[in-house]
């Protein structure tokens, strides 16, 4: 028997179902398929119902004591999900540029160097995309031009003060 708290078991069950279905909102057909496949793994003649899994997903809406999460159901769901539910993985969107399908990338993600961009990416560059690189270089050029104009204006003002102080003497 698995020794876990009710909330940990519920979280594990939800992660397993979400991993198998591939979304946070599983359809009835997906739940029915999961029930059928999990019953085969558990060695049950009669599969669990898709409504039973739906209730287990949304235990906060129903009486939790009426619907227990059995060990055989949980173990079969974990084996169906390929143990991904226990690894603490999250569902994320991946946009790849020049990466082969099913490639494994073993690097940490980092934030794009452009301050207003909130994208995290994996790669060797400093920017998440070519668009961010061009926007940020354009921004840096504008700042450099502004500093140059400001420095020129200060230099002119100093020169005017020098001329003004020479004339008044």
Q: Which pairs from 32-40 meet CB under 8 Å and 24+ separation?
A: 34/77, 34/80, 37/80, 38/73, 38/76, 38/77, 38/80, 39/76
Same domain for 75 and 124, yes or no, is no
Q: Is residue 95 part of a domain?
A: no
* Residue that is last in its domain, among 23, 54, 80: 80
**Exposed, middle or buried by CB within 10 Å (0-12, 13-18, 19+), for 74?**
buried
Give 1's pLDDT tier (boundaries 50, 70, 90): very low
Is 121 within 8 Å of 112 (Cβ atoms)?
yes
pLDDT digits (tens, 9 = 90+) for 59-114: 888 877 788 888 899 889 888 887 666 665 555 566 667 777 777 777 777 888 88
Q: Is residue 13 part of a domain?
A: yes
Q: Is residue 89 part of a domain?
A: no
Q: Is residue 51 part of a domain?
A: yes
Same domain for 14 and 73, yes or no, is yes
CA angle 80, 81, 82 (to 5 degrees): 90
Locate 9 and state its tokens: 């078991």
Q: Which domain holds residue 45?
A: 6-80
Axis-axis angle for helices 50-57, 6-21 (nearest 10): 120
Residues in the chain: 169
The whole-chain average pLDDT of the chain stands at 83
pLDDT of residue 134: 93
Q: Is residue 158 part of a domain?
A: yes
**Exposed, middle or buried by CB within 10 Å (0-12, 13-18, 19+), for 114?**
buried
Q: Is residue 93 part of a domain?
A: no
């Amino acid at each position: 028997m698995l020794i876990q708290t009710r909330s940990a078991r519920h979280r594990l069950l939800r992660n397993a179902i979400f991993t198998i279905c591939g979304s946070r909102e599983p359809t009835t057909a997906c739940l029915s398929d999961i029930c059928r496949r999990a019953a085969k793994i558990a060695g049950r003649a009669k599969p669990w119902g898709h409504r039973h899994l739906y209730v287990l997903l949304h235990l906060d809406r129903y009486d939790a004591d009426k619907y227990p999460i059995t060990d055989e159901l949980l173990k079969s769901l974990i084996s169906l999900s390929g143990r991904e539910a226990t690894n603490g993985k999250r569902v994320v969107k991946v946009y790849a540029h020049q990466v082969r399908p099913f490639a494994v990338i073993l690097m940490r993600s980092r934030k794009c160097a452009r301050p207003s961009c909130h994208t995290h990416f994996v790669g060797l560059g400093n920017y998440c995309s070519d668009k961010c690189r061009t926007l940020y270089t354009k921004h840096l050029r504008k700042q450099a031009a502004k500093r140059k104009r400001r420095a020129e204006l200060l230099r002119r003002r100093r020169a005017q003060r020098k001329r003004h102080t020479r004339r008044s003497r």
